[in-house]
Amino acid sequence: MSFTSLLFIFGFLPLSWLASCAWTKKTSVQNVILLLLSLLFYAWGSIQNLYILLILIVWNYCSGLQLEQTQDMPRKRRLIFWSSVLYNVAVLAFYKYIGFWFGSILPQTQNIHAPIGLSFYTFSILSYLADLYLNKCPAQKNVVAFGLYVSFFGKLTMGPISQYTDFEQYLKHRTISKDRFAHGMDLFLKGLVKKVFFADQLALVFAAMGNDSSFLGAWLLSLAYTFQLYYDFSGYSDMAIGIGYLFGFEIPKNFDHPYIAKSVQDFWRRWHISLSSWFRDYVYIPLGGNRVSKEKYIRNILIVWLLTGIWHGPNWTFVIWGLYYGLLLLGQKFLFQKWIDRLPAAVNIILTFLIANIGWVFFSSPTIMTAFSHLGNMLGIGISSFASENALFYLSSYWLLFVFAFLLCGTLYEKIEKKIFLLFSKQAVIGVGVFKICVFVMMVAYLVSSTAQTFLYNAF
Amino acid sequence: MKNKLASMKRRSALLFSVILSGILVLGLIINVIWPDRDHSNVENRPLQTFPALQLQSLEDGSWTRNMTNWFSDQFVGRNLYFHLNYLLKKGTGIQKIDDVYLGKGALIQEAGAPNEALMSQKAQTIQAFHARFPLNTSVMIVPTAAQIDQDKLPPFAPGAFEQQTIDSFYSQLPEDIHALDVGKTLEKNQNKYQYYKTDHHWTSLGAYHAAKQFLKSQGMEIAYSDYERMPVSNSFRGTLESKTGSVFLKDTIDIYVAKNNPDYLVTYNNDGNPVPTIYDDEALHRKDQYEVFFGGNDSLVQINLNTDSTRHLLIFKDSYANSMIQFLLPYYRSITIVDPRYYYDDITRLIESDMITDVLFLYNYNSFQTDTSLLDVLNSAIQTANQ
DSSP annotation string for A328-350:
HHHHIIIIIHHHHHHS-HHHHHH
Q: Are residues A135 and A208 in the same domain?
A: no
What is the spatial distance between Cα B99 and Cα B116, in angstroms, rounded to a whole number? 21
For chain A, give me the number of helices (H) and strands (E)? 21, 0
Which residue, A112, A69, A77, A108, is CA-closest to A92? A112
Share of chain B above pLDDT 70, in %: 99
pTM of the model: 0.90
Class of residue B377 by CB neighbours under 10 A (exposed 0-12, middle 13-18, buried 19+): buried
pLDDT of B136 strictly over 70: yes
How many separate domains does chain A show? 2
HSE toward the beta carbon, residue A289, CA cutoff 13 A: 7
Q: What is the pLDDT of residues A377-390, one digit of tens each?
A: 999 999 999 999 99
Residue B227 phi, psi dihedral angles, 5° rounding: -120, 155
User: What is the model's pLDDT at position B44?
Assistant: 66
CB–CB contact B200 A456 (8 Å): yes
User: Quick one: DSSP state of residue A271?
Assistant: S
What is the spatial distance between Cα A311 and Cα B231, in angstroms, rounded to a whole number? 65
Q: Are residues A371 and A437 in the same domain?
A: yes
Average pLDDT, stretch B206-234?
96
Which positions in chain A touch B370 (Cβ < 8 Å)?
A: 457
| Spatial CB neighbours of A222, under 8 Å, sequence gap ≥ 6 | A357, A358, A360, A361, A364, A374, A378
Average pLDDT, stretch A401-429?
93
pLDDT of B252 strictly over 90: yes
CB–CB contact A397 B25 (8 Å): no
Q: Are residues A17 and A111 in the same domain?
A: yes
Residues of A classed as catalytic: 312
**Confidence band, pLDDT 50/70/90 cuts, at residue B286:** confident
Which positions in chain B touch A208 (Cβ < 8 Å)?
A: none
| Cβ-contact B267, B301 below 8 angstroms | yes
What is the spatial distance between Cα A257 and Cα A273, in angstroms, rounded to a whole number? 11
Name which residue leads in pLDDT, A270 or B42: A270
Phi-psi region of B269 (alpha: psi -120 to 50; beta: other; left: phi over 0): left
> A250 vs A122, A124, A184, A256, B228, CA distance in Å?
20, 16, 9, 16, 74
pLDDT of A454 strictly over 60: no
Q: Are residues A95 and A189 in the same domain?
A: no
Q: Which of A4, A422, A454, A458 to mutate to test the interface with B (most CBs of B within 10 A)?
A: A454
pLDDT of A458 strictly over 70: no
What is the spatial distance between Cα A447 and Cα B247, in angstroms, rounded to a whole number? 18
User: What is the model's pLDDT at position B1?
Assistant: 63
Between B5, B8, B61, which is nearest A47 by CB? B61
CB–CB contact A429 B11 (8 Å): yes
pLDDT of A457 strictly over 50: no
Residue A132 phi, psi dihedral angles, 5° rounding: -70, -45
Q: Which of these three, A121, A144, A174, is where a domain ends?
A: A174
Q: Are residues A142 and A196 in the same domain?
A: no
Q: Which helix (H) or strand (E) holds A323?
A: helix A316-331
What is the spatial distance between Cα B141 and Cα B363, in angstroms, rounded to a whole number? 5
| Residues listed for chain B | 387
Residue A372 lies in a domain: yes
Which residue, A191, A190, A183, is CA-closest to A246? A183
| Spatial CB neighbours of B359, under 8 Å, sequence gap ≥ 6 | B130, B133, B135, B136, B137, B138, B313, B314, B315, B316
| Residues listed for chain A | 460
B227 strand-pairing partners: B258
| Cβ-contact A338, A344 below 8 angstroms | no
Which positions in chain B touch A447 (Cβ < 8 Å)?
A: 72
Q: Are residues A331 and A346 in the same domain?
A: yes
What is the CB neighbour count within 10 angstroms for residue A80? 20
CB pairs under 8 A between A and B: 187
Task: Give chain A's end-to-end CA distance (angstroms, integer).
Answer: 34
Quote ipTM for the complex.
Answer: 0.89
Q: Are residues A294 and A204 in the same domain?
A: yes
Q: Are residues A168 and A248 in the same domain?
A: no
User: What is the model's pLDDT at position A453?
Assistant: 55
Residue A455 lies in a domain: no
Residue A460 lies in a domain: no
Whether a cis peptide bond, with omega within 30° of 0, leads into A160 is yes
User: Can you tell me whether residue A291 is helix, strand or coil?
Assistant: coil
pLDDT of B120 strictly over 70: yes
CB–CB contact A389 B27 (8 Å): no
Domain range holding A286?
180-449
| Spatial CB neighbours of B164, under 8 Å, sequence gap ≥ 6 | B114
What is the spatial distance between Cα B147 and Cα B150, in angstroms, rounded to a whole number? 5
> A17 vs A147, A243, A437, B21, CA distance in Å?
19, 10, 20, 10
Instruction: Give CA angle at A451 (B101, B76), nearest 5°.
Output: 115
Q: Which of these three, A122, A139, A174, is where a domain ends?
A: A174
Q: Which helix (H) or strand (E) holds B39?
A: strand B39-40
Pairing of strands B300-305, B264-268: antiparallel
Task: Give chain B's end-to-end CA distance (angstroms, integer).
Answer: 95
Between B4, B15, B84, which is nearest A445 by CB? B84
- Starting from the edge strand earliest in sequence, which strands make up the sheet with B264-268, in order? B178-179, B136-142, B358-364, B312-317, B334-338, B300-305, B264-268
Pairing of strands B96-97, B251-258: unpaired
Which residue, A276, A250, A247, is CA-closest to A261? A276
HSE toward the beta carbon, residue B215, CA cutoff 13 A: 19
| Cβ-contact A309, A320 below 8 angstroms | yes
Q: Are residues A71 and A197 in the same domain?
A: no
Q: What is the pLDDT of residues A189-219, one digit of tens each?
A: 999 999 999 999 999 999 999 989 999 999 9
Q: Are residues A216 and A275 in the same domain?
A: yes
Average pLDDT, stretch B79-99?
93
Long-range contacts of range A111-120, CB-CB < 8 Å, 24 or more positions apart?
A115/A46, A115/A48, A115/A49, A115/A52, A115/A53, A116/A45, A116/A46, A116/A49, A116/A157, A117/A42, A117/A156, A117/A157, A117/A158, A118/A52, A118/A91, A118/A92, A119/A92, A119/A311, A120/A155, A120/A156, A120/A157, A120/A158, A120/A159, A120/A161
Which positions in chain B touch A442 (Cβ < 8 Å)?
A: 84, 88
What is the spatial distance between Cα B52 and Cα A16, in angstroms, rounded to a whole number? 22
Which residue, A116, A92, A100, A89, is CA-closest to A1? A116
Which residue, A231, A230, A251, is CA-closest to A359? A230
Phi-psi region of A223 (alpha: psi -120 to 50; beta: other; left: phi over 0): alpha
Q: Which of these three, A147, A174, A201, is where a domain ends?
A: A174
pLDDT of B337 strictly over 70: yes
Average pLDDT, stretch A63-90?
94
pLDDT of A371 strictly over 90: yes
Average pLDDT, stretch B4-27?
93
Q: Which residue in B has a C-alpha nearest to residue A186's C-alpha? A: B13
What is the CB neighbour count within 10 angstroms for residue B387? 5
Name which residue leads in pLDDT, A326 or A290: A326
What is the spatial distance between Cα A127 and Cα A125, in angstroms, rounded to a whole number? 5
**Confidence band, pLDDT 50/70/90 cuts, at residue A452:** low
CB–CB contact A422 B45 (8 Å): no
Q: Are residues A350 and A309 in the same domain?
A: yes
Residue A241 lies in a domain: yes
Distance from CA of B69 to the nearest CA of A (A): 8
Q: Which sign does the torsion angle of CA A374, A376, A382, A386 carry?
A: positive
Residue A327 lies in a domain: yes
pLDDT of B55 strictly over 90: no
**Confidence band, pLDDT 50/70/90 cuts, at residue A106:** confident
Q: Which helix (H) or strand (E) holds B132?
A: helix B116-132
Q: Are residues A192 and A133 in the same domain?
A: no
Within its chain, how far is the Cα of B384 from the centroid?
A: 31
Which positions in chain B touch A6 (Cβ < 8 Å)?
A: 71-72, 75
Q: Which residue in B has a C-alpha nearest to residue A16's C-alpha? A: B25
| Cβ-contact B318, B370 below 8 angstroms | no
Q: What is the mean pLDDT of chain A?
A: 92
Distance from CA of A84 to the nearest CA of B (A): 31
User: Can you tell me whether residue A4 is helix, strand or coil?
Assistant: coil
pLDDT of A112 strictly over 90: no
Instruction: Give CA angle at B105 (B99, B107), nearest 5°.
Output: 20
